[in-house]
Amino acid sequence: MAWPGGTGDGELEYYTTRPSNVSLDGSGHLVITARRETYTGDGTTRSYTSGRIQTSGLFQTTYGELEARIKWPAGQGLWPAFWSLGYDYDRVGWPNSGEIDVMETLGNNPFTAYGTIHGPSADSPKGYGMTTYTRSRVLLTAGFHVYGVIWSPSKIVFTLDGMPYAARSRASLGRGDRWAFNKPFYLILDLAVGGVWPGSPDASTRFPARMLVDWVRVYS
């Protein structure tokens, strides 16, 4: 499936279905490649392409451990992510679907990994977002690391290389916020370019930029 990008976050890429953006490297890795190139799809022209894959309609899960072993690229404006959406996203929309960001990283901050939950709130049409992070002593872009969550009916614990670093729970929510994580979710992997959070690439950003995924595992 292709996406025009810029999904409400100001992203600059067009997600394509081309092997040049999503492929296998012959060594057992999924490779998502962001490229600096002019590309037009669905009437939208953008200056970057990349890839996003998802398991909607193929696989969904409720509770357990979600993990992926990933190596992500450094570079200003790069935004790799391993995340999930409620199975009812197409019906109820966001943020009512709920969102679990198992891992988000910024290419210009290669020592830090972020985890976030998003859900609906009576106080805002954009819902709530509760973000946490961990700072590694080693350069995360230098090799593979395992990013995960331990998900139970009332709590989500974020992990890096099997070690918990933060948790968000039903009790953490503000007044008017709703816990949206007691239903099946599907998984998403992508490498975004630009956006309101990472900012745009600059002259120092190297393309093509590659995000390698060794494996994704779900334990129920």
pLDDT tens digits, residue range 157-203?
999 999 999 999 999 999 999 999 999 999 999 999 999 999 999 99
- Residue ranges per structural domain of the chain: 13-219
pLDDT tens digits, residue range 37-78?
999 988 889 999 999 999 999 999 999 999 999 999 999 999
Decide: pTM greater than 0.85.
yes
Please list, residue by residue across 205-215, b when 16 or more beta carbons sit within 10 angstroms of its beta carbon and e when fewer do: bebebbbbbee
Largest CA distance in the chain: 50
Which one of 3.90.180.10, 3.30.450.20, 3.40.50.2020, 2.60.120.200 gives the CATH number of domain 13-219?
2.60.120.200
Please list, residue by residue across 109-128, b when 16 or more beta carbons sit within 10 angstroms of its beta carbon and e when fewer do: bbeebbbbbbbbbeeeeebb
The active-site residue out of 11, 13, 67, 104 is 104
Is 65 one of the catalytic residues?
no
The active-site residue out of 11, 13, 67, 99 is 99
Task: Please give, one letter per residue, the 3-state secondary structure of 35-62.
Answer: EEEEEEECCEEEEEEECEEECCCCCCEC
* pLDDT at position 4 over 80: no
- pLDDT given at position 2: 44
Is 37 one of the catalytic residues?
no
